[in-house]
Chains A and B, each alone.
Chain A
Amino acid sequence: MKHGEIDNILASEEELVPSSGFLGAVMHRVEEEASAPPPIPFPWKRALPGIVLALAVLAWGTVTLVRYALEAGSGFTMSLPDMHLAAPVARPVEQAAWVVGALIISAASWLLSRRLAGGRG
């Protein structure tokens, strides 16, 4: 079977012989890693209260956000024809906006840190 010339050239590459120290260098690195102390495990016991607290705050924030959003929504539908209700509605809306802003900033900083870390983790 005749081969194309591109085939012939690219298939006929000379074999490279690894340098004499290659095997030793690889084994040195492997043994170094094998003898290194195991990585310190994540201190789940110590971190657990903090994680629970953070989750509780997040849950509370979500509930508050939803509540304010619902209040604001109902306030708007009722207040649109009547301008007198605008003042009581303004406060929950403002608070909800703060919560939404904080969530957006958190998400942005998380995305930025992932991007800086090369998308790992």
Chain B
Amino acid sequence: MSGSGERVIEVRGLRKAYGDVEAVAGIDLHVDRGEVFALLGPNGAGKTTTTEILEGYRQRTAGEAMVLGEDPAHGSRAMKERIGIVLQSTGIDPFLTVHETIELYAGYYPSPRDVDEVIDLVGLAEKRRTRVLKLSGGQQRRLDVAVALAGDPELLFLDEPTTGFDPNARRNAWEIVKNLTALGKTVFLTTHFMDEAQYLADRVAIIAKGRIVVEGAPDTIAGRDTMRSRIRFRPPADVDLPPLGQVPAGNGTVEIRAEDPGRVLHELTGWALDHGASLESLEVSRPSLEDVYVEYTGGEEGTD
């Protein structure tokens, strides 16, 4: 999907310094129309700074940036009419109802979506007449998304949209985003959740210390589709295993990295049957996006 279609976001050599600290240290990226692009990285890696430069909230220190053909630094009204923003923290008047809120924001845009349609899209139909004050945290977050959709934007920025969600709420939020892509929207997403990027994104860029360290489709990023599979199990206590290249993997388990997992598994299970041994907790996995992430970010967890 990358490389084709119209460029919606184009960034070259983007830098942002706060005093001596370089929050963004030279980033190149692009997002094409209709694509879901995820910027994945630990806290403090520069995700929000990058996003806020593209949204027009921050001025960059150096580099080039284009959003929908305009320089976001100018913060033009024309650009803002075509984008929708879900910030990391909510910011909605608590004393208006859900319907009033969407109606208010829809009114800022030249060709808004139907108010009730937007409310339905995020699953708040039953809360239409409820004041924002009375919504739960998850419902307020969905309202955030609804507000961003009110103007029927072409491009949607979602900055850590599911942080603080319980698993069910996250699933729901993902479905909302999936629905958006079905509507042909372009989505620029930041997250520190691997599964979120894996599930939603067409393309992922992993960012660490202000730099993009690796980029690609979630299934093939950093060659994870051709990397060796991992076979893990708990070996039986009383019998010695044949030499299959196993190494201890903690918690009493061992791990085998296999180019050809089918053959190794065949040998392993054959041996187990012959010896009447059981292979507890047996699992086979490809390197996860998380493995790639940990490898490239050094597993670091900074602070915001």
**Do these two chains really belong together in a complex?**
no
- List residues of B whose CB falls within 8 A of some A CB: none
